[in-house]
Copies of this chain bind each other. A is one copy, B any other.
């Protein structure tokens, strides 16, 4: 098994954080996304969508999509459970993973990809007006999340889950996207500090 990794990009990082939380080790194949290495034959032959990360199993089976790769690892090694426990627990983790991914992570990524000059070759066409429209969407969701986090430690409840990993990656991605967490969202800021202080955040 080997994981084609993409360095600082947020989706490859989600999988590395997940593996660190599971205390699992998988051989990494580094791909230089800055040099558009994910568009080369090594990645494209395995994932025609030319995105990272890509997990190659020993029999050659290919898995893509960071959350799908994480789910595979969660099924192979169930503890600690990072996709929730029980029907309701699993559904709540899925709900928060999706809410954070679709309303925060996607908004931050759109702001970055449609505005940052370095993304001109990545996002064709860049639509700066769409990038700008996403900045208030990200903030609006953070305001909702802040109220939720007043009542509990993690995104989906009392236990750390993949929803928190998506949250950490999205919050860290706000810096290059030039969006700032408003100072009054103290619960989001506390949550971000706690996630960033976990050893897995260095992955």
The answer to whether A90 has its CB under 8 Å from any CB of chain B is: yes
Interface string of A65-101 (1 = CB under 8 A from B): 1011101100110000000001110111011001100
Which of B67, B75, B144 is in CB contact (< 8 Å) with A49? B144
Q: Are A48 and B144 in contact (CB under 8 A)?
A: yes
The number of residues on chain A lying at the interface, defined by a beta carbon within 8 Å of a beta carbon of chain B, is 33
From residue A143, how far is it (CB to closest CB) to chain B in Å? 10
When chains A and B are docked, how far (Å) is the Cα of A88 from the Cα of B127? 38
Minimal beta-carbon separation of A165 from chain B (angstroms): 15
Contact of A75 among B48, B87, B95 (CB under 8 A): B87
Q: Does A161 contact B (CB under 8 A)?
A: no
In contact, A75 and B90 (Cβ under 8 angstroms): yes
Q: Is A64 an interface residue (CB 8 A)?
A: yes
* Known A127-B127, A129-B130, A130-B127; contact A91-B68, beta-carbon cutoff 8 A: yes
Which of B75, B91, B125 is in CB contact (< 8 Å) with A133?
B125
- A103: CB under 8 A from chain B? yes
Contacts of A98 in B (CB 8 A): 65, 67-68
Pair A88/B65 contact, Cβ less than 8 Å: no
Could you tell me which A residues sit within 8 Å of B by CB distance?
Answer: 48-49, 57, 61, 63-65, 67-69, 71-72, 75-76, 86-88, 90-92, 94-95, 98-99, 103, 125, 127, 129-130, 133, 141, 144, 147
10 contacts between A and B (CB under 8 A): A48-B144, A49-B144, A63-B91, A63-B95, A72-B87, A75-B86, A75-B90, A76-B87, A129-B130, A130-B130
